[in-house]
Amino acid sequence: MGSDDLHKKRKAQTLKQKQRKIGIRKAYDRVLIVCEGSETEPLYFKALREEYQLHTANIEICTPSGSDPMSIIKYAKERYVAAKNEGNPFERVYCVFDKDQHTNYDSAIKSLEYMQPKNIFFAITSVPCFEYWILLHFIYTTKPYIGTDKKSSADNVISELKQYIPNYEKNVKIFNLIKNNLSFAISNARRANEVAKKTSTDNPSTKIVDLVEYLINLLHQK
């Protein structure tokens, strides 16, 4: 077989692989979720994906090497473009990150507002951190979390969370421990976000609820 024939054969095989990959996705939206944390957040969303039987070809969850908000956005944009070029585009891209002590948090939010194409990229933020969403599975609270010299605002949330999950650590597969309280958490998050909006503050607040409800409702697109 000549080099040209071999090249054509490999090209055809690559095309078939792409077609097979595209073919296994379900009829509902294809979604990219890019997480700041390397453990807690991706483990949570992977477990939620499994719980609601959402297809892995539709819901891609990943973590870039950089953990700051701008690194999250950069990776999300690159992955979006790559998937589009492969002929298997994402309908929505969610960038999941905390405010905590990130100095480029506000710049990241602004960057996503102007990201093209419109209505594809969304910021899923938690203030001060993702653990506030977990805490809402147990209590409703809107008290602000303020950092000190010894403990960050996120550390203070985690300390409070440990009253309900004493062995909580970042690598804990948290979803299955708290899923029975999900409706309570959704209600609490909605109330807390409304309070934050009325009082012109974001501490505390979480948009994780938006992504969770969106993923659950994907079932109705089947």
In the prediction, which pLDDT does 219 show?
77
Q: How many domains does the chain contain in total?
A: 1
Answer whether residue 137 is part of any domain.
yes
How does pLDDT run across 24-59, given as a tens digit for each residue?
Answer: 778 899 999 999 988 999 999 999 999 999 999 999
Assess if residue 11 is contained within a domain: no
- Does some domain include residue 145? yes
Q: Of all helices (H) and strands (E), which one includes residue 212?
A: helix 208-217
Adjacent-strand bridge partners of 126: 98, 206
Residue 122 falls within a domain, yes or no?
yes
**Average pLDDT estimate for 182-211:** 98
CATH number of the domain where residue 139 is located: 3.40.50
- What confidence tier does 193 reach under pLDDT thresholds 50, 70, 90? very high
pTM recorded for the entire structure: 0.88
Position 222 scores a pLDDT of 56
What is the domain range of residue 81? 26-221
Tokens 């609601």 correspond to: 52
Q: Give the Cα separation of 172 and 100 in Å (integer).
A: 20
Q: What's the N-to-C CA distance of the chain in angstroms?
A: 46
Q: Is residue 191 part of a domain?
A: yes
Model confidence at 20, pLDDT cuts 50, 70, 90, reads: very low
Does residue 205 form part of some domain? yes
Is 4 contained in some domain? no
> What is the phi/psi pair of residue 123, to 5°?
-90, 125
Q: How confident is the model at residue 13 (pLDDT cuts 50, 70, 90)?
A: low
Residue 78 lies in a domain: yes
CA distance 110 to 121: 12
Interval 65-97: pLDDT, tens? 888 999 999 999 999 999 999 999 999 999 999
Q: pLDDT higher for 150 or 18?
A: 150
